[in-house]
Amino acid sequence: MVASVDGAEVALRPFGFSRGADIANVSIVQAGDGCNGEAFGDSPGSVVVVEPGGCPIDSKYANSVKAGASGLLVAEVAPLDEQAGQWSSPPLTMTGIPVLFSTSPDSAELLKKGGAVSIQFAASVGESEN
């Protein structure tokens, strides 16, 4: 994965179910905790940055999709490894746009203050055979 905010590298990690992305220099929309759909405004093509907590991740995701965002980034302030249990069972229907988390406090701060983000990573969501 390669990601940057205003040209500075940021450490991001996708949810295991997240689709890949090739998003180049799009604006960042700050949406607080992401629980209030009105906070997203009109965000077509933008990447929405939300803070953790407040509501389930699927609510944040639904609000991002409704606003027309091209991606959802959770600006986590603690390293993701410390928060791993909180993200264990997201719905598998959340595959329309990429969902990523910062993996360091420095990256979270860049996401919160930045104006534009670029993200590139390969991932696919497949069906398992029974």
Report which of 15, 109, 126, 12 is spatially closest to residue 60, judged by C-alpha positions.
Answer: 15
Judged by phi (left if over 0) then psi (alpha if -120 to 50, else beta), residue 54 lies in left
Encoding tokens for residue 126? 């497949």
Residue whose tokens read 């940055």:
49
DSSP three-state, residue 6: coil
Q: 29-62: per-residue pLDDT in tens?
A: 899 999 988 888 777 889 999 998 899 888 899 9
pLDDT per residue as tens digits for the range 64-123: 999 999 999 999 766 545 444 455 555 566 778 888 888 888 998 998 888 888 998 876
pTM over 0.85: no
User: What is the Cα–Cα distance from 127 to 53, expressed in whole angstroms?
Assistant: 30
Q: Are 35 and 54 in contact (CB under 8 A)?
A: yes
Q: What share of the chain is helix, strand, coil (3-state, %, to 5)?
A: 25, 30, 50
DSSP labels, 29-69: EE-TTS--GGGG-S-TTPEEEE-S-SS-HHHHHHHHHHTT-
